[in-house]
Chain A
């Protein structure tokens, strides 16, 4: 793998995700969930809940957190850390929003794919 340079790729329009919603991006090693908060911040984290592998993109988004649809674990979109009494974390990925488009860093996604 070459030096770690950012390599932003255009994924979709911001409008393609509902506010307080999420959609997934498929990678070879599973899905990354891309979230849009009420304040139009965009976060990307691993779609798999560390508890029982619940699909986080299907959860309810509140503040900068998401609640897993299977057993209500709450996960910070910023840090990937499980909140409250439960413990664990999921991987997070850098994102940018430019001109109404959502960009993900292909280098980190590929690193994930190669990992």
Chain B
């Protein structure tokens, strides 16, 4: 007869026990699993990406309902345990009692709540599980101010996630620097600086005196009487083993539930695993030792010999996008020496602590690529005297010529740990590859390497690369879409070098896996083809997103918006009258002034588009291309016409620029502005291309943005005359059209090719002229009003194909 196993707590440690147990002998136990949370086992390490919105709960589930069902595990989720009766060998939950032969206590840990006044106010939460995460997401949706108490890993992840979601976040940390148990002061400083750059305020040596508020939290009061307003307080000062049940049951409990090396508690039929456990006076919070414990528990339950040993631990973490690593003992002390390396520009810091000719501790921040090698030195107590001079630079600088990263991975011994979370060594991955797992997904499935926190993914890929040689292709850059393996850059190179001038030619030459592409690649190909072969390739409306196909912006209810061009933001009473008449005639519900100095008619029915355009055309207005990956507007100030500060005719230049650039298609939208003086009223320095007029001429700068990213432009060139300014702007626009990836704004393109290269190209007069010529050639086709063309040639296509409403009503 099957024995009965009852498990209290469905966290990552007990989940791993069940996996091992069911793998080894699925028939050994009849399993009942209790969990206070109303769900099963999920990857708690990944709560931070859930908080920041990169992942959803579904992405981080380890064991779903079907897994429990398939393995015959009886789940009692959302049920609290009220008592363990060791004499009767039963566990009683809120919904009834079950008997056990063996009991596994995996109650994990509870967040530590600092005992201050106001700790129970609504709006004060901890960060421990999915419910806490959801509570934070909900709170962040309302915006406002958040105070995170605790500058350890959890607190910083919470702070970064809340800041990501738009809250104004302050972190309070009791100690002198952040993450003092993992980092030394210098690394703590870099972390603090990186966080502050992300908009998170950090106050160290901050002791919380009270949490203030009437009906819910309103502020946090510090010992030094500082008051910080708060709509949300997250308490993340630490965790303690959750031992209340074990205590009540009379098990031996110190700080955690005491276990022997077989993970048995003081009652031989009761085991414990995970963060609730104390072994040899140690507590455990990282996932690697918990997984080791899980293996031991499974073996013990099956009567197999095994013993848990505490291993030397390294901490390799990614905190809010900052890489950090620490291992061993890095406190200062007598007889200890430091080797320190800093690269302030890259924000890199490395420190090695040496004692008796060996490395005993290491802290790394910003670049942790060599951390495995240093950890190896610490573990093996390697004699470092001979390589001391170059030690800090890492393994690539030992023994003469620098090695490439793959050679460094190739040089790792079989027992070098690759995946810290799951304790997977290089040898196990190599063996899995030999057994037929030849890609990352298969390695993850078979060995679990890189399946938990994922920070070793690159390393696992490198092991694949060195083991498999040429047959493994390191995934360098993303393919264009699922229709092809080629990147945007590859495809564009093919279009030019093979003179591919139609979409089917590209599909054929580049081995497309779909008959006619998809919504993602077709618009990109259409742009590349028309930009590279303006005379040979005819624009394909069916490969354009609806806005560019119908020359209007689709709205959420399926209606459209219509924006006529106002050159340089200048309009006339007659134009305004025509806009007003059109708005009334077509019953436009909303008329709005845009940020690009023109007006937007929102809520126009698709069928009415040709008619409203015709009315606007009749008043001399054309499409404003407010919908296009192309030239949008040239914003201007009034310049020398009216302004007492203006240095040049900024309005005139803006109009000239708009009249020469309009209708051109570009990789992404293109917004310009011209300011008449450095007071910059046209906000030219956050546009894709901005001109600031000065007494001596025109400063042309590029790469600004004021959307999801906010960026200031960088100076491209200063020129003396208006003609030169126009030529340089046409040239840089053409260079952008020819070399940027589709959907890269200028600043992204600039980040890839470099501002210096762009400046070099447009400064050289010959190159500039050639670029201008190619731009003008393309404009000979595209500098036209699409509205007029659609009215003339395809007005009918805007109407329904047939109207059966009358027929059906008969």
Determine the chain A residues whose CB is within 8 A of the CB of B541 once the complex forms: 18
Is B282 on the interface with A (CB-CB < 8 A)? no
Smallest CB separation, B494 vs chain A (Å): 20
Kindly state the separation between the CA atoms of A85 and B276 in the bound complex, as whole angstroms.
Answer: 38
Kindly supply a per-residue 1/0 record for chain A positions 13-44, scoring 1 wherever the CB is within 8 Å of any chain B CB and 0 otherwise.
Answer: 00011111101111110010010001000000
Is A63 on the interface with B (CB-CB < 8 A)? yes
- Interface pair B808/A24, CB less than 8 Å apart: no
Is B550 on the interface with A (CB-CB < 8 A)? yes
9 closest A-B pairs by CB: A67-B519, A23-B801, A20-B542, A60-B519, A58-B546, A69-B546, A55-B558, A26-B803, A113-B808
Smallest CB separation, B39 vs chain A (Å): 21
Determine the chain B residues whose CB is within 8 A of the CB of A11 once the complex forms: 801-802
- Interface pair A23/B808, CB less than 8 Å apart: no
Give the size of the chain A interface in residues (CB under 8 angstroms).
37
Smallest CB separation, B284 vs chain A (Å): 37
- Interface pair A25/B802, CB less than 8 Å apart: yes
Smallest CB separation, A39 vs chain B (Å): 8
Known A67-B519, A70-B554; contact A60-B545, beta-carbon cutoff 8 A: yes
- The segment from B411-419, B510-518, B584-592 found at the interface with A is B510-518
- Interface pair A26/B542, CB less than 8 Å apart: no
- Interface pair B546/A62, CB less than 8 Å apart: no
Is B382 on the interface with A (CB-CB < 8 A)? no
Is A6 on the interface with B (CB-CB < 8 A)? no
Kindly state the separation between the CA atoms of A74 and B483 in the bound complex, as whole angstroms.
Answer: 15
Smallest CB separation, A35 vs chain B (Å): 11
Determine the chain B residues whose CB is within 8 A of the CB of A58 once the complex forms: 546, 549-550, 554, 558, 606
- Interface pair B809/A25, CB less than 8 Å apart: no
- Interface pair A63/B514, CB less than 8 Å apart: yes
Smallest CB separation, B511 vs chain A (Å): 16
Is B800 on the interface with A (CB-CB < 8 A)? yes
Query: Which residues in chain B, 760-809, are within 8 Å of chain A measured between CB atoms?
Result: 796-797, 800-805, 807-809
Residue of A nearest to B504 (CB): A38
Is B522 on the interface with A (CB-CB < 8 A)? yes
Smallest CB separation, B70 vs chain A (Å): 22
Query: Which residues in chain B, 538-576, are within 8 Å of chain A measured between CB atoms?
Result: 541-546, 549-550, 554, 556-558
**Could you tell me the dominant secondary structure of chain A's interface residues?**
mixed
- Interface pair B801/A16, CB less than 8 Å apart: yes
- Interface pair B808/A52, CB less than 8 Å apart: no
- Interface pair A63/B515, CB less than 8 Å apart: yes
Kindly supply a per-residue 1/0 record for chain B positions 514-528, scoring 1 wherever the CB is within 8 Å of any chain A CB and 0 otherwise.
Answer: 111111001100000
Q: From B516, B545, B801, give the contact of A24 (CB < 8 A).
A: B801
- Interface pair A38/B802, CB less than 8 Å apart: no
Smallest CB separation, B510 vs chain A (Å): 16
Q: Which residues of A contact B (CB under 8 A)?
A: 11-12, 16-21, 23-28, 31, 34, 38, 52-55, 58-63, 67, 69-70, 72, 74, 102, 106, 109-110, 113
- Interface pair B808/A34, CB less than 8 Å apart: no
Kindly state the separation between the CA atoms of A38 and B542 in the bound complex, as whole angstroms.
Answer: 10
New contact pairs (16) apart from A17-B801, A28-B805, A69-B545, CB-CB < 8 Å: A11-B801, A11-B802, A24-B801, A25-B801, A26-B800, A27-B804, A28-B809, A38-B516, A58-B606, A59-B546, A60-B543, A62-B514, A62-B517, A62-B519, A63-B516, A67-B518
Determine the chain B residues whose CB is within 8 A of the CB of A69 once the complex forms: 545-546, 554
Determine the chain A residues whose CB is within 8 A of the CB of B514 once the complex forms: 62-63
Kindly state the separation between the CA atoms of A38 and B802 in the bound complex, as whole angstroms.
Answer: 22
- Interface pair B801/A109, CB less than 8 Å apart: no
Residue of A nearest to B810 (CB): A110
Residue of A nearest to B543 (CB): A60
Kindly state the separation between the CA atoms of A26 and B543 in the bound complex, as whole angstroms.
Answer: 25
Q: From A18, A25, A70, give the contact of B804 (CB < 8 A).
A: A25
A-B contact pairs, 20 of them (CB 8 A): A16-B796, A18-B542, A23-B797, A25-B802, A25-B803, A27-B804, A28-B808, A34-B801, A55-B558, A59-B519, A60-B522, A60-B543, A62-B519, A63-B514, A67-B518, A70-B554, A70-B556, A72-B519, A102-B801, A106-B807
Q: From A55, A63, A109, give the contact of B808 (CB < 8 A).
A: A109
Kindly state the separation between the CA atoms of A11 and B549 in the bound complex, as whole angstroms.
Answer: 24
Determine the chain A residues whose CB is within 8 A of the CB of B606 once the complex forms: 55, 58
Determine the chain B residues whose CB is within 8 A of the CB of A70 once the complex forms: 554, 556
Kindly state the separation between the CA atoms of A113 and B804 in the bound complex, as whole angstroms.
Answer: 10
- Interface pair A53/B804, CB less than 8 Å apart: no
Determine the chain A residues whose CB is within 8 A of the CB of B554 once the complex forms: 55, 58, 69-70
Residue of B nearest to A113 (CB): B808
- Interface pair B545/A21, CB less than 8 Å apart: no
Determine the chain B residues whose CB is within 8 A of the CB of A24 once the complex forms: 800-801
Q: From B549, B797, B802, give the contact of A26 (CB < 8 A).
A: B802
Greatest chain B CB density within 10 A among A20, A31, A53, A102 is at A20
Determine the chain B residues whose CB is within 8 A of the CB of A23 once the complex forms: 797, 800-801
Smallest CB separation, A3 vs chain B (Å): 18
Query: Which residues in chain B, 276-306, are within 8 Å of chain A measured between CB atoms?
Result: none
Kindly state the separation between the CA atoms of A70 and B518 in the bound complex, as whole angstroms.
Answer: 15
Query: Which residues in chain B, 382-412, are within 8 Å of chain A measured between CB atoms?
Result: none
Known A20-B516, A28-B809, A67-B518; contact A61-B801, beta-carbon cutoff 8 A: no
- Interface pair B808/A18, CB less than 8 Å apart: no
Determine the chain B residues whose CB is within 8 A of the CB of A62 once the complex forms: 514-519, 522
Residue of A nearest to B514 (CB): A63
- Interface pair B801/A12, CB less than 8 Å apart: yes
Q: From B517, B523, B542, give the contact of A21 (CB < 8 A).
A: B542
Residue of B nearest to A38 (CB): B516
Smallest CB separation, B764 vs chain A (Å): 40
Determine the chain A residues whose CB is within 8 A of the CB of B522 once the complex forms: 60, 62
Residue of B nearest to A21 (CB): B542
- Interface pair B803/A19, CB less than 8 Å apart: no
Residue of B nearest to A54 (CB): B558
- Interface pair B558/A53, CB less than 8 Å apart: yes
Residue of B nearest to A63 (CB): B515
Smallest CB separation, B174 vs chain A (Å): 44
Kindly state the separation between the CA atoms of A72 and B804 in the bound complex, as whole angstroms.
Answer: 29
